[in-house]
Amino acid sequence: MTWPLILDCDPGHDDALAILLAVADPAVELLAVTTVAGNHTVDKCTVNARRVLSLAGASDIPVARGADRPLVRRLRIADDVHGSTGLDGPQFTDEPSVPESPYSAQELLVDVLRSKPATIVATGALTNIARLLVDEPGLAANITEIVWMGGSTERGNIAPLAEANAYVDPEAADVVVRSGVPFTMCGLNVTHQALVTDDVLARLERIGTPLARICSEWMTFFASTYRELFGFEAPPLHDPVAVARVIDPAIVRCVEANLVIETAGEWTAGATVVDLDGYTGRPANARIAVDLDRDAFWDKVIGAITRLSVC
């Protein structure tokens, strides 16, 4: 069985590998890629999405530019993590061969969802998805599920209690969580189990193709910033975890819990308040990822890059 999937992203090193996984895994039918400001400006994120799809040879997948800022807040980008291009590491001088769609992300989302139900995997701020649900509420029934790489059940990575994708646009996350569309959160508590360790880099090197070498260079740059900023010996590859959850739910174990997005707190805006122990008595409204089958996850990611390398 294949899953029709829309990937809404802000590439970003980890988004890049999420795109490759979604393109290559036979369980996924990737219908569209939409971009949003977050890791960098939407201009650079759109070029990066086109770049990754070009490297994957996926010229048939439309790429549409989305929101250039959060719903109500000023944009904060993560160039300290992802570099000046948003995808630093290997040097590219050519224009990506995959073109940008003439449609906006909103227009493309509407067009795709009217044609068939699909799962949305979001690996950035939820601005595009919130706007879609507000402007086109009738299309909510055609969204099978929203699987988000964002949030955390524990600490944050851009503020003490806020993960970056939640922090950039908490108002959008609040709209999406309260929409009633089935929602799964793959937060830092589980993505920090997806570390790009030396054995992973060795597996990439053994593939020995230009694409694998580019991925290795991306991960090497990503590792350097995570080491400098956070003291990680190996960086966590956040975003492909959300794609892996769609491909095979057994890879990412989830529990049902109540989730609330903090939008008003002076020190806690962007916090994802997950009631794992039922303290509040509020009903469960989300699936919360809590554990990763690391071996199965890396088999999927490495397998995708290998598959694309022989196409």
CB of 150 closer than 8 Å to CB of 261: no
Pairing of the two strands 272-275 and 143-149: unpaired
DSSP secondary structure letter of residue 306: H
Cα(103)–Cα(107) distance, rounded to whole angstroms? Answer: 6
- Report the C-alpha gap between 103 and 226 in whole angstroms: 35
Q: How far apart, in Å, are the Cα atoms of 135 and each of 59, 90, 110, 116?
A: 29, 39, 10, 18
Catalytic residue among 13, 40, 82, 238: 238
Helices (H), the chain: 13-24, 42-55, 79-82, 105-115, 127-135, 164-168, 170-177, 188-191, 198-207, 210-230, 240-247, 294-309
Cα 96 to Cα 99: distance, rounded to the nearest angstrom:
7
Inter-axis angle of helices 294-309 and 240-247, to 10 degrees?
90
Token representation of residue 263: 């939008």
Residue closest to 301 by CA, chosen among 263, 256, 251 = 251
Q: State the CB neighbour count (10 A cutoff) for residue 230.
A: 11
Active site residue 13: no
How far does Cα 232 stand from its chain's mean position? 20
Buried b (16+ CB within 10 A) or exposed e, 75-98: bebbbebbbebbbbbbeeeeebeb
For every residue of 7-22, DSSP letters joined together read EEE--SHHHHHHHHHH
Residues serving a catalytic function are 238
